[in-house]
Structure 1
């Protein structure tokens, strides 16, 4: 059925969009239960301070107030601290230094917005008024917001567990081999590179509704989560909120996550605890500025990088030193982002014989930093692709040809930094992108722009990422606290309709469509007969959720394994009913057929026979329902080439992206339309980072960009009409040959944009975001030098 109307490869419109665009989506904030109260948190206005006292007497006396709860009560009730779930060891073997993080802090706050108390009231307005009435006395302390400053002698100290604010000092690669490569180099390119801090900003802010049923001693949590089962596991096993079998976590429609909804935050914990404490259901919905001050931020790296080349401009070695800002506390997966999700991708698409990377992570008085769309891979790609472009310019070689000369040519390819790439064709993506943008004709376009008084530039980025985050045994050996498999259950009902229960979660990726397309392809049924069930720990046995572009390569592979089992049983039943050999049964177009005959049975009749059970093969159990777990054998490695062309106005510094081409290799594609939407979104986020977005703090730890008035999200007129294309090398590591597409755009686009701008203005002295002011200032440093010449 390959290429069928609704199966694999079909451009099927997303089924879930009907309810979303008609306002029928069901988000956490839409949920209500009888007797529901509302929570508002009292938050610190200081980036660093001791909590001297909390006086809530006036607040408790206000209308509608049910309770005002503090961190002291939380600790007294045995609620645990928040944790980081991925252990990293420093190069000396010592474990990372994890500072204590309480859901409500009663002694020592470490970033603006940290919660010190919660008000529960009958209405949201009453809770907000009472929160304003809670009097908290603070003793302000000096703050530090820059990671490099935090490592200096005399810097304010955040956690006694982490002297010098250093969390870990980690390394990967062969230092001696890398040193030898540099010793023999004909040319060395050096750069200092900053990757700016970002705020995720999903459309739906975080929210939680917690209900404790005293009769059953049972908790239910509706929440905006990318992985409800992991949330239940952490809340029960580590935070001591409730026994796992007494806690149900439901993640209904989730309006975007980008990584920021992977984690358990203080608010979910507190709502569950407060519901039991007060005897009423408790609901909290985050306000937008509150989200800026509490949702995990992304990126924030400072790196010093060196690249060694031989006389033929082949790369001999890469040496990187990175300082990563993890904010005030270690979030759930934060430790893995600047280590195993970053440094292991520093080889990129290139055959680099020797790589060594040192990473230091640091506490500062800022919002905690964790995985954000791409999670380490954008940081690695940005560093490497800015270095590739710069090195090519320094040696006088065309940047495209410099990349081509250093591409990996044979697979599998073992990099010097753990990863073993299984398959790829990097020339194909490069050629497709260069042809589409008319790379050879750029000089003429540049000259024409100059006649109009504009500076035109072109920039490339050849990215690679690691998705479907790897075998459980492998990530366990690297410090992960969980396995990264996925589960699925396929239930064929008596009338032939099908329910697929998946541990993957959808928060905008279109799983209700693409997962159903997979079933339609296999069984020859209509999409309207297939239901996808996810996001409820009482319905789905267990799953690891959605992040790292794992839903296709891992989640759908689990579904394939379950489908295999269902099909095998159905064929046995069909063979028995048709009095044929099982090996002669084929499933074609929704019908079981006997090879070489006209005997056949439609799919629904075989399903009905499985449940009536009047005539089954001897010893066969009734029913047609199978489950499966899938643990990946390797990461998957999407890759591609992005080319950006810009025009810069030298009088204002304003950059216009006049063309952008993306050529991606995602392996097998289930629904091209949905893939294009994912790439469009990722490109826009990456361009936003390159041109506009920055979480900016002042020296006292106040977030200066805590609203959309100050944090500049990209708008429609900031981005071009993208031109997309795909090349295909199937992934050999999973049954569908899929690689993943959800993060690629955000990974590959920032260096392409920055390479284009620096090409246009003639200087590398420019950091993200390349705002008009920053570009104008960079141009001012170039023009005097040109005049002197």
Structure 2
């Protein structure tokens, strides 16, 4: 769309300047590496806290000159990452170099303060944003000028965070005819900035939802009704947005209605009015979001200069006893994929979930993969696993038809058994097929022994989860303290393989978003020295600060994904920051406060109240 024309013709334009402060990722386990060079074999083994061991092997070969097949990277048990362990850091290569020089194992582990200094940071945007609309509340355009901090030098995925993962998603779930993003990367003598949970999408969602609240105030309309008026209608197989990308599927209004009904939105507004009459300040924040994740496709990666592919691969292997191992290229590190992937296989093959083993994180026995980040592990890696399982099942069906002396077309499969159509008593279990395939006593002509298959999956498009979140906060006007009283997260990630894991991912992301809104922020002095270099100075949220989250969901499958799934690992962080922020500003509006730079610490809130009241 023509953004400039939309603004020239607009009845109403609202503007803001948004500071997305720097954040420091804080995984439970700091970065660490153990390198062991065996000179006589010319082989290097590197234990690494990486989110993508195959990429560390690839880059490590380029750095050290050791042939790639002579490097083994092990990252089987990693204590979290949130994006901070995507890059390959110099520390790993220094440990490798020292091991090669000393011909003995060398271990390096970062202290927490070293991690604050040298592990990548997140966010760090200064955004000048504006929205154009009609007097009736139809949003016609968004445009921005964004200065994205890069730090002292470019980290692995840094240029993609404020561009493809930010500027392309400015429509959110709304029907907006024109969007424009002018993004400038800014270098400074600070720690490099790279992907941190959400990576560009929290910043985009923040500016969209912030502008909508400002527009609602300008028009004198309810912010929920303004959102509802602009939502994209239901679509099941693609919707083009102004930035040029195509959303896969979406049904936004039912989820909005579900969440609003759950919280009884109108009753909350009435309670807010009663509290204001007695000098108490409650705020309500509502966010509707749509995000882009599930990275591939590889062609897009190549077109934007990513420097690698974004497909995934998997191998599914039946043992003669009927147990199953799956070897995956992705590298889960706390997301619970060992359980999720075992469930995928159990469902596809009809075996008990306890009979499935998921092997990952060791480049010596797993297929090539491009890593775990960007909510892609189940979407891309899980799809590869399902395709491999389906190949195994089809081979087993052919073998079952041979043993049952039936045509393959007449053999059906259900609950782990192959049987002749109309004669369920004539059946063979898939475990029996595994035994026969491995002993190879009676195979159809031309069939190879063994029951295993590999598959590669390169997604044709991203996936686009969406949702509605609501926050209710209370602000003490005498000291600026903000208390989150209630939080409801409604999300749609397609079919949920393991709802408990989905809920856990939402919990973690929401808390990290709250952290940005209320407490977290990197501070440097004028000489570039980090002042928030430890837990003493960098405030992280703690469990006692939060209410119990209320989790809701709908199911809108992705039409192009073999499992219909969409990502969920980042949605909480994408939606929650602006939901809480808007709730706080909503609470303070009667006190003359229209905006505060994050984090919304008690001191900042108290100062804003005094300024708003002319004190």
Same fold (TM over 0.5): yes
Alignment deviations for residues 9-66 of structure 1 (CA, whole Å, 9 cap, x no partner): xxxxxxxxxxxxxxxxxxxxxxxxxxxxxxxxxxxxxxxxxxxxxxxxxxxxxxxxxx
Match of 1:385 in 2: 209
In 2, Cα distance between equivalents of 1:246 and 1:328: 33
Question: What are the superposed Cα offsets for residues 566-596 of structure 1, whole Å, 9 maximum, x if unpaired?
Answer: 0010011111111111112222222221111
2:612 — aligned with what? 782
Judged with a 3 Å threshold, the aligned counterparts in structure 2 of structure 1 residues 717 and 448 are, in CA distance, closer, same or farther, namely farther
Query: Number of residues paired by the alignment?
Result: 609
Q: Distance in 2 between matches of 1:243 and 1:693?
A: 43
Task: Please say if residues 575 and 581 of structure 1, whose CA atoms lie closer than 8 Å, have aligned partners that are also in contact.
Answer: yes
Q: Which residue of 2 aligns with 1:521?
A: 347
2:297 is the counterpart of 1:467 = no
Alignment partners' CA distance in 2, 1:758 and 1:454:
14
Pair 457,331 (structure 1): closer, same or farther in 2 beyond 3 Å: same
Other structure's SS at 1:193 match: strand
In the other structure, the counterpart of 1:691 is 518
Task: Verify the 8 A CA contact 1:470 1:632 in the aligned structure 2.
Answer: yes
1:731 positional shift: 0.5
1:657 aligns with 2:484: yes
- Of residues 244, 265, 278 in structure 2, which corresponds to 1:418? 244
Give the whole-Å Cα distance in 2 for the aligned partners of 1:612 and 1:765: 71
Is the aligned partner of 1:548 residue 2:548? Answer: no
Verify the 8 A CA contact 2:76 2:331 in the aligned structure 1.
Answer: no
Q: Give the Å deviation of 1:422.
A: 1.7
1:242 offset after TM fit, Å?
Answer: 2.0
Shift of 1:447: 3.7
Following superposition, the deviation at residue 453 of structure 1 comes to 4.0
Residue 349, structure 1, aligned to residue 186, structure 2: no
Per the alignment, in what secondary structure is the counterpart of residue 23 of structure 2?
Answer: coil
CA distance in structure 2 between the aligned counterparts of 1:248 and 1:452, rounded to whole angstroms? 66
CA-to-partner distance for each residue in 1:624-667, whole Å, 9 max, x for gaps? 11000000011000000111111000001000011111110110
Q: Counterpart in 1 of 2:54?
A: 229
Establish whether residue 336 from structure 1 lines up as the match of residue 157 from structure 2: no
Instruction: Please name the residue that 1:197 is paired with.
Output: 22
Q: Any residues of structure 2 matched to 1:703-722 within 5 Å, and which? A: 703-722=530-549
Aligned-residue offset at 1:764: 2.2
- Please list the CA deviations of residues 54-101 of structure 1 after superposition, one character each: whole Å capped at 9, or x if unmatched: xxxxxxxxxxxxxxxxxxxxxxxxxxxxxxxxxxxxxxxxxxxxxxxx
Q: How many angstroms does 1:413 deviate by? A: 1.8
Residue number in structure 2 paired with 1:449: 275
CA contact (8 A) 2:255 2:468 kept: yes
Counterparts of 2:315 and 2:365 in 1: how far apart (Å)? 10
Greater Cα radius of gyration, structure 1 or 2: 1
The residue matched to 1:219 in structure 2 has which SS? strand
Aligned to 2:614, the other structure's residue is in SS state: helix
The match for 2:32 is: 207
CA contact (8 A) 1:241 1:269 kept: no
The C-alpha deviation readout for 1:311-365, integer Å capped at 9, x for no partner, is: 2211111110000111111101111111111100111111111111101111111
Q: How far off its partner does 1:408 sit? A: 1.0
CA distance in 2, matches of 1:765, 1:312: 25
Find out whether 1:322 has 2:149 as its counterpart.
no
Q: Give 1:593's aligned residue.
A: 419
- Trace 1:32-47 onto structure 2 (pairs within 5 A): none
- Match of residue 365, structure 1, among 168, 172, 189: 189
Residues 135 and 219, structure 2, Cα contact 8 Å, conserved in 1: no
**Counterparts of 1:568 and 1:696, CA distance in 2:** 58
| CA distance in structure 2 between the partners assigned to 1:776 and 1:356 by the alignment | 35
| Distance verdict in 2 for CA 1:416–1:240, change over 3 Å | farther
- Whole-angstrom CA distance in 2 between matches of 1:768 and 1:666: 29
- Aligned equivalent of 2:316: 490
Q: CA RMSD in A?
A: 1.2
Q: 2:70 aligns with which of 246, 249, 272?
A: 246
Partner of 2:401 in structure 1? 575
Counterpart of 1:406?
A: 230
Runs of 4+ residues deviating >4 angstroms:
none
Is the contact between residue 310 and residue 316 of structure 1 (CA under 8 Å) also seen in structure 2?
Answer: yes
| 1:43 corresponds to | none
CA offset at residue 240 of structure 1? 3.5
1:268 — aligned with what?
92
Q: CA separation in 1, counterparts of 2:234 and 2:438?
A: 51
Assess if the C-alpha contact under 8 Å between 2:351 and 2:416 holds in 1.
Answer: yes
CA distance in 2, matches of 1:264, 1:550: 19
d(CA) in 2 for partners of 1:450, 1:389: 20
Distance 2:327 2:269 in 1: 54
Give the Cα–Cα distance (whole angstroms) in 2 for the partners of residues 389 and 500 of structure 1: 48
Structure 1 window deviating more from structure 2 (674-683 vs 582-591): it is: 582-591
Say whether residues 1:217 and 2:42 are aligned partners: yes
d(CA) in 2 for partners of 1:298, 1:418: 26
Unmatched segments (≥5 aa) in structure 1: 1-173
Instruction: Give the gaps of 5 or more residues in structure 2.
Output: none
Q: Is the 8 A contact 1:464 1:638 kept in 2?
A: yes
Task: Return the offset for 1:410.
Answer: 4.8
Q: Is the 8 A contact 2:124 2:148 kept in 1?
A: yes
Deviation at 1:737, TM superposition (A): 0.6
Alignment of 1:673-752 (within 5 A): 673-752=500-579
TM (normalized to structure 1)? 0.76
Cα distance in 1 for partners of 2:519, 2:366 equals 41
SS in 2 for 1:675: helix
